[in-house]
Amino acid sequence: MRCATEWTLIDTETTGLFAPIHVVEVAAVRMRGWEPTGETFQAFLDHDIEIPGEAEAIHGYDRAFLRRHGAAPREVHRAFRDFLGERPICAHNLSYDLDRCLLPEWSRLRAGTAHVRGFCTVKLARRTLPELKFHGMGLLTRKYHLTRAKAHAALADAQATAQLVSQVLAPRLRGTAFEDFAALVRFSEMERRRAVKALGAGPAQ
């Protein structure tokens, strides 16, 4: 990016897809421009509830694991809020991680943040890589040989998304009109045909 904007890539693991959704792991990678700074956050949350079998089958965290490794949810979210600061929040499926998981949990626990909404990297990948039919993290990890220590582990997924941004999306976006952070947010939300045309137009004059 032309300016060294600081922003944050987040990821969550949860108890499922339908409300009430409880976050059992939250992680983040701090970014500056196109690159990760090396600063990360990871924590497990113990809500003292049973973990549905279908959720455990995905991420591997059961109630006993969370009792051993998790912390009180309010404590975790306070620390997470401090890590996020006022930096924009981005994620690979932002509408799930932020809108369906974190915002309701912050409201439920009265642990809100002064966050700024950023862009969804799924949407950004769709606009930047229009030749691909699917833009899920699993497919992108395999296609572009990204390092993903463990699928469906929040920190590993956030780090893989950071690689996607710096190694795959950034080379296509450098020198275009979409290097400014606010412009990237607008680009990610563009109608597909318009986005392809805009990206092909080259650098802004």
Domain ranges (residues) in the chain: 6-200
DSSP 41: E
**71 and 26 Cβ atoms separated by less than 8 Å:** no
pLDDT of residue 201: 61
- Judge whether residue 2 has pLDDT over 70: no
- Judge whether residue 190 has pLDDT over 90: yes
- Judge whether residue 136 has pLDDT over 50: yes
Q: Is this prediction's pTM over 0.85? A: yes
Mean pLDDT over the full length of the chain: 93
- Judge whether residue 202 has pLDDT over 70: no
pLDDT of residue 129: 96
For tokens 């006022």, the residue is 86
14 CB-near residues (< 8 Å, 6+ apart) = 21, 22, 23, 24, 55, 101
Q: How confident is the model at residue 114 (pLDDT cuts 50, 70, 90)?
A: confident
- Judge whether residue 205 has pLDDT over 50: no
- Distance between start and end Cα atoms, the chain: 16
104-114 average pLDDT score: 87
Beta strands in 95-184 (DSSP E): 116-120
Rg from Cα positions in the chain: 17
DSSP 71: B
Q: How confident is the model at residue 3 (pLDDT cuts 50, 70, 90)?
A: low
CATH no., domain 6-200: 3.30.420.10
pLDDT of residue 204: 40
Q: Which of 67, 46, 58 is nearest to 17 (CA)?
A: 58
| Residues 107-142: b if buried by 16+ CB within 10 A, e if exposed | eeeebebebeebbbbbbbbbbbbeeeeebebeebbe
pLDDT of residue 157: 96
Respond yes or no on whether the N-terminal peptide bond of residue 20 is cis (omega within 30° of 0).
yes
3-class secondary structure, 32 = strand
Segment 60-88, tens digit of pLDDT: 999 999 999 999 999 999 999 999 999 99
Helix axes 192-200, 181-188, angle to 10 degrees: 140
Supply 77's token pair: 């979210």
pLDDT of residue 49: 96
**152 and 13 Cβ atoms separated by less than 8 Å:** yes
Percent of the chain with pLDDT over 70: 97
15-22 average pLDDT score: 94
pLDDT of residue 13: 98
